[in-house]
């Protein structure tokens, strides 16, 4: 089973004129701690780490999924339901939800509204060093001797998943419909 890092992201479901969209924001530069099989490691994506798949290969398949499950897609670039952008501060996306969504999309909307789904997790790979020499490196964590951070400068983004837990704390989940907006998992604001 693959271990996927989970990062806080900002998600929002909007409804405008009967059309629902899920928007998301995955911030660069945030430090995440990943615990897996008794091992703890830290990881950070450098600005524009995903630019290759987003900008340089616009025909590359990119999906928004639930829990890294390709059997539970929310949107994709290939179907024309996903717009994704890369900037120095974050990757942002807008996923247009289907009018007659499958059950897992409805479940995801409910989980976001309830504050149960609070994170984004990128499904990615780092190119081999013989392809991209500086794809990733280990850097010492300031003020914490002996601890290193995996700093990722170049990664091939394959998908972004809506998940229940978040490693990075710089973002949260937002939900918007006609009568409510959830700004993050800590507070709810009614319109």
> DSSP states of 155-177 as a string?
-EEEEEEEES--S--S--B-EE-
Q: Token digits for 155?
A: 């990664």
* Nearest alpha-carbon partner for 49 in 4, 6, 91, 92: 91
Residues 44-56 pLDDT 10s:
999 999 999 999 8
User: Which H/E stretch holds residue 107?
Assistant: helix 103-113
Q: What is the pLDDT of residue 62?
A: 95
Give the angle 184-187-188 at the CA atoms, nearest 5°: 95
Q: What is the pLDDT of residue 2?
A: 52
Place of tokens 């615990």: 35
Residues 15-60 pLDDT 10s:
666 678 888 889 999 888 776 666 677 899 999 999 999 998 888 8
* Nearest alpha-carbon partner for 103 in 130, 64, 72: 72
Q: What is the pLDDT of residue 118?
A: 74
Residue 104 in this model has a pLDDT that exceeds 60: yes
Q: What is the pLDDT of residue 66?
A: 92
Helix-, strand-, coil-residue percentages of the chain, each rounded to 5: 10, 50, 45
Residue 168 in this model has a pLDDT that exceeds 60: no
How far lies 132's CA from each of 61, 118, 129, 135, 159, in Å?
21, 32, 5, 6, 20
């Amino acid at each position: 089973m693959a271990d996927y890092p989970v990062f806080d992201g900002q998600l929002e479901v909007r409804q405008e004129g009967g059309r629902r969209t899920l928007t998301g924001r995955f911030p660069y530069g945030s430090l995440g701690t990943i615990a897996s099989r008794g091992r703890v490691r830290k990881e950070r994506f450098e600005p524009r780490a995903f630019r290759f798949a987003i900008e340089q290969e616009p025909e590359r398949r990119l999906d928004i999924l639930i829990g890294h499950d390709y059997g539970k897609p929310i949107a994709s670039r290939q179907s024309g339901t996903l717009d994704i952008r890369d900037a120095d501060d974050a990757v942002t996306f807008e996923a247009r939800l289907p009018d007659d969504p499958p059950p897992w999309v409805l479940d995801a909307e409910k989980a976001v509204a309830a504050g149960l789904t609070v994170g984004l997790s990128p499904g990615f790979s780092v190119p081999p060093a013989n392809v991209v020499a500086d794809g990733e490196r280990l850097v010492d964590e300031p003020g914490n001797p002996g601890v290193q951070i995996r700093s990722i400068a170049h990664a091939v983004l394959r998908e972004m998943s809506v998940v229940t837990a978040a490693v990075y704390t710089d973002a949260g989940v937002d939900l918007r419909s006609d009568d409510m907006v959830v700004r993050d998992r800590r507070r709810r604001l009614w319109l």
